[in-house]
Amino acid sequence: MFLQPRFSEDEQKVCKIVLDTYKQLLEIKTMVISDLNTNYSEAVAKLHIQGISTGFISSLGINFVTSLYEAIAQNKHSFGFVAQEDGKVLGFVAFTTNLSKLYKSVILKKGCRFVLLLAGKMFSLRQIKKMFETLFYPSRVKKMDLPCAELLSLVVAEEARGRGVAAELVKKGLEACRTRGIPKVKVLVGASNEPANKLYRNCGFELVGQIDNHGVISNIYSAQTDSIQSGRI
pLDDT, tens digit (0-9, with 9 covering 90-100), for 43-60: 999 999 999 988 889 999
pLDDT on residue 12: 75
pLDDT at residue 162 greater than cutoff 50: yes
Rounded Cα gap, residues 162 and 160, in angstroms: 7
Question: What is the band of 7 on the pLDDT scale with cuts at 50, 70, 90?
Answer: low
CATH of the domain at 138: 3.40.630.30
If one counts the domains in the chain, the total is 1
In this prediction, residue 232 carries a pLDDT of: 43
Rounded Cα distance, 103 and 163, in Å: 33
Q: Residue 125 carries which side chain, given as an amino acid letter?
A: L
pTM over 0.85: no
Rounded-to-integer distance, Cα 159 and Cα 5, Å: 35
Closest to 134 (Cα-Cα) out of 26, 51, 214 = 214
Give the range of the structural domain holding residue 175, as residue numbers without chain letter. 10-224
Residue 232 within any structural domain of the chain: no
Residue 229 lies in a domain: no
DSSP state letter for 227:
S
Whether 66 is in a domain gets the answer: yes
Distances (CA, A) of 166 to 23, 57, 112: 17, 20, 34
